[in-house]
Amino acid sequence: MKQLKKPRDSTTKLDKKMEYQINYASSVGLYKPSFFQMKVDTIFSLKKLTDLSDEVLSVYLHEYVHYLQDISTTFGLMNASWVVEYMKYSAEKIRKNYEEKFPVPLPIVKEDYHKVYENNLIMNVYAGTNIRLTELVITEIEREIFNVSIDGVNKPLPKVKIHFKDSYGSSTSFFFGATCVIESMAFLIETNCCGELFGASTIPYKSAQAVAEFGYPEFSASALNIIALCDASLFAFHPGDFFVSCLRDMQKKNWLPKEPEEVYDYANTFSKTFLNVAYDGANDLEQLYEQFSKNAVKELQGYFTIDLFNDTKKWIEIIVDSAFKIRKENPYIFLELATSGNPRNNKVFTKLIRELGTPLVLNSNGEGTFYHPKENEYNFYPYALAAVSEVFSMLTTRRSSCSLYGFCKESSLLQNIPDYTDERCRISPWKKVTDDPLCPYGQIWKMWDLAERTPDL
């Protein structure tokens, strides 16, 4: 069942308020990768980007940067691979231990599968605190050690603790991790290209700037320096710790880049002595990304176990390999994106979309768009990963509705087939597993052999 490619136009007004968010789950430290499903919080149609207002285009660029971070950095690919591990674990545990209803969130038991249990502990450290806070004054940056038992061996993991005073003068703290690095980088690129069109909280959107200003004011004078260090940090497993550690090393050596591109070279050299880098023989950030890029494709393709999704598996391989090629040929592509102006005529933005395409992109009405330069050569089903994302939300946040409702309704209309959406989409989408035709959610639920199981929400 081929799904919607192009939505009909919307003529309603722009939402009064648009908030960016990286979707961290409540029960696990993992977040939903943007290439599973990208959402732009607007009621305008996303059919033609050049027709969008500056405000909507600004938000689209921000979310597209998250897509790029997910497919072209070590951390993004690692998180996506760990989401695969978690979903496989969940499906197997549900089939094995529950004949009908199963609890949500599903308990992660170390004895069941220690790797998922450990990944959850580790990712909660890597991700850091996910809060929204505007007025603060940093007073200290502390590196704490959090001990995690991995394969029976105690492994110390650093946590970057930011002490600050809030607008009331009260002292408190948060942990600076991947959430802050990811959002700060996207926000800086967005504002560099479009200007700051929306008010944004200091944490997480301006947190990297705040940390850099506190730790090394001279370095922070250039927004491009911070973008480069954020980007380089996402090639490490622990972006928050790498960002602060590398920044301190620069400050200690009184090193300042003449051009922001030099930050990448400095970070890669620094990583050779950074203890959290080693992986499968890799001893710097470049080697780490190359190793993980190869492994991530196999992990991500493991979602799909039926022939229907063979081309979708190929799509995953193509976008990860294409992103790797772009990174190898031009390590500074994000700096070029940030300095090429408004997305309406930003040649780098256009180039990236033409070469890497987009995931399934939904607006707030559920209208969906998708593009890939090879979509006519294959039967890509981008909705499949979006459906996986919906199941993930149910398992981790107890969300009973499926946000693909509007997409499926629109898809039925454009294909001139009976509307297969109904009230179950909003309250129990897993019950659609016996329908004909199967909706995206039903396809995933059936593929994982969960037809007889129901979440206890």
* pLDDT (tens digit per residue) in 323-382: 999 999 999 999 999 999 999 999 999 999 999 999 999 998 888 889 999 888 888 888
Distance CA 342, CA 289 (A): 30
Element (H, E) at 140: strand 136-150
pLDDT above 90 for 241: yes
Distance CA 356, CA 324 (A): 11
* pLDDT tens track for 379-433: 888 888 999 999 999 998 899 999 899 889 888 888 888 899 999 999 999 999 9
Same domain (yes/no): 183, 330: no
198 domain-assigned = yes
Residue 299 CA neighbour count, 13 Å, CB half: 18
pLDDT above 50 for 23: no
119 domain-assigned = no
User: Which residue is associated with the tokens 């497919």?
Assistant: 71
DSSP H helices in 128-201: 178-194
Mean pLDDT of the chain: 87
pLDDT above 90 for 113: no
Name the pLDDT band for 5 (thresholds 50, 70, 90).
Answer: very low
Which of 230, 250, 277 finishes a domain?
A: 277
Distance CA 304, CA 342 (A): 38
Q: How far from chain centre, in Å, is Cα 228?
A: 18
Same domain (yes/no): 303, 230: no
Look at the chain and count its residues: 457
Which of 219, 247, 277 finishes a domain?
A: 277
Q: CB atoms < 10 A from the CB of 243, how many?
A: 30
Over residues 430-439, the mean pLDDT reads 93
Name the pLDDT band for 276 (thresholds 50, 70, 90).
Answer: low
Nearest Cα neighbor of 187 from 155, 150, 227, 151 is 227
Q: How many domains in the chain?
A: 2
Same domain (yes/no): 234, 334: no
Same domain (yes/no): 251, 361: no
Same domain (yes/no): 149, 247: yes
Residue 282 per-residue DSSP state = B
114 domain-assigned = no
Same domain (yes/no): 312, 272: no
Domain that holds residue 395: 1-106+282-457
Same domain (yes/no): 191, 89: no
Residues 6+ apart with CB under 8 A from 393: 23, 25, 32, 399, 403
Same domain (yes/no): 399, 346: yes
112 domain-assigned = no
The values of phi and psi at residue 284, to 5°, are: -155, 175
pTM of the full structure: 0.90
Distance CA 313, CA 318 (A): 9
Same domain (yes/no): 31, 135: no
Give the angle subtended at the CA of 138 by the CAs of 173 and 214, to the nearest 5°. 135
30 domain-assigned = yes
Give the angle subtended at the CA of 61 by the CAs of 47 and 321, to the nearest 5°. 90
* pLDDT tens track for 307-323: 888 999 999 999 999 99
The values of phi and psi at residue 163, to 5°, are: -90, 135
pLDDT above 60 for 19: no
Which of 277, 304, 328 finishes a domain?
A: 277
417 domain-assigned = yes
Give the three-state DSSP class for 26: coil
* pLDDT tens track for 124-179: 899 998 888 888 899 999 999 988 877 777 888 899 999 999 888 889 898 999 99
Nearest Cα neighbor of 182 from 261, 66, 273, 93 is 66
Q: Is the Cβ–Cβ distance between 136 and 165 less than 8 Å?
A: yes
121 domain-assigned = no
Same domain (yes/no): 355, 253: no
The pair of structure tokens assigned to 84 is 């695969």
pLDDT at 71: 95
Same domain (yes/no): 410, 357: yes
